[in-house]
Structure 1
Amino acid sequence: MRKTRAHGIAGWASVISGLVCAFLVSALAAATARAELPPESDEGWTLRKETDHIRIYTIEQPGSSFKAFKAVGVLDAPIENLMAVMASPGSCVEWVHNCIESYAFGNGGFHDRYAYSVNDMPWPVTDRDYVLRIRTRGDRSSGEVVMDLNATPNQRAESSSRVRVDRSDTLYRFTPEGDKTRMLWVQHTDPNGSLPGWLVNSLVVDIPLQSMEELERVANLEKYQGYQLIYGEGGELAGLSRSNP
Structure 2
Amino acid sequence: MQKFILLFLIGACSLPALAQPKWKLIADEEQIRIYSSAVPESKIKAIKVDCVVDASLSQMVALLLDVEAGTHWVYKTKSCTLLKRVSPTDLYYHSEISLPWPLDNRDFVAHLVTRQDPVTKAVTIDGPVVAGMVPVKKNVVRVSDSKGRWVLTPAAGKVRIEYMLHTDPGGYLPAWAVNAFAAEGPMETFKSMKQHLKLPKYRNASLTFIAN
Percent identity among equivalent residues? 28
Q: What letter corresponds to residue 57 of structure 2 in structure 1?
A: I
1:53 alignment partner in structure 2: 31
Matched, 1:92 2:70: yes
Q: Post-superposition shift, 1:35?
A: 6.5
2:109 alignment partner in structure 1: 131
1:78 alignment partner in structure 2: 56
Q: Post-superposition shift, 1:49?
A: 0.9
Q: Post-superposition shift, 1:137?
A: 0.3
Question: Where do 5+ consecutive residues of structure 1 fail to align?
Answer: 1-33, 232-236, 241-245
Q: Post-superposition shift, 1:63?
A: 2.6
- Taking the TM superposition and a 5 Å limit, the aligned residue runs for 1:23-34 are none
Q: Post-superposition shift, 1:184?
A: 0.4
Q: Post-superposition shift, 1:81?
A: 1.5
1:37 alignment partner in structure 2: 17
Task: Determine if contact 2:105/2:141 at 8 Å carries over to the other structure.
Answer: yes
* Counterpart secondary structure, 1:227: coil
Q: CA 1:133 to 1:158, structure 2 compared with 1: closer, same or farther past 3 Å?
A: same
After superposition, the CA RMSD in angstroms is 2.3
1:73-112 Cα offsets, whole Å, 9 max, x none, are 1112222221111121302112211111001113422222
Q: Post-superposition shift, 1:156?
A: 2.2
| CA–CA distance in structure 2, aligned partners of residues 63 and 57 of structure 1 | 19
Q: Post-superposition shift, 1:199?
A: 4.4
TM-score (norm 1): 0.74
TM-score (norm 2): 0.85
| CA–CA distance in structure 2, aligned partners of residues 228 and 141 of structure 1 | 19
Q: What letter corresponds to residue 96 of structure 1 in structure 2?
A: V
Q: Post-superposition shift, 1:144?
A: 1.3
Q: Which moved more, 1:104-113 or 1:181-190?
A: 104-113
Q: What letter corresponds to residue 135 of structure 2 in structure 1?
A: A
* Counterpart secondary structure, 1:230: coil
Number of equivalent positions: 199
Q: Post-superposition shift, 1:36?
A: 2.5
| CA–CA distance in structure 2, aligned partners of residues 102 and 119 of structure 1 | 9
Q: CA 1:107 to 1:213, structure 2 compared with 1: closer, same or farther past 3 Å?
A: closer
Q: Which moved more, 1:128-137 or 1:80-89?
A: 80-89
Q: What letter corresponds to residue 73 of structure 2 in structure 1?
A: W
Q: Post-superposition shift, 1:141?
A: 3.1
Greater share of helix: 1
| CA–CA distance in structure 2, aligned partners of residues 202 and 84 of structure 1 | 32
2:41 alignment partner in structure 1: 63
Task: Determine if contact 2:43/2:175 at 8 Å carries over to the other structure.
Answer: no
1:142 alignment partner in structure 2: 120
| CA–CA distance in structure 1, aligned partners of residues 177 and 104 of structure 2 | 12
Matched, 1:215 2:205: no
Question: Where do 5+ consecutive residues of structure 2 fail to align?
Answer: 1-13
Task: Determine if contact 1:35/1:167 at 8 Å carries over to the other structure.
Answer: no
Q: CA 1:58 to 1:216, structure 2 compared with 1: closer, same or farther past 3 Å?
A: same
Q: CA 1:43 to 1:165, structure 2 compared with 1: closer, same or farther past 3 Å?
A: closer
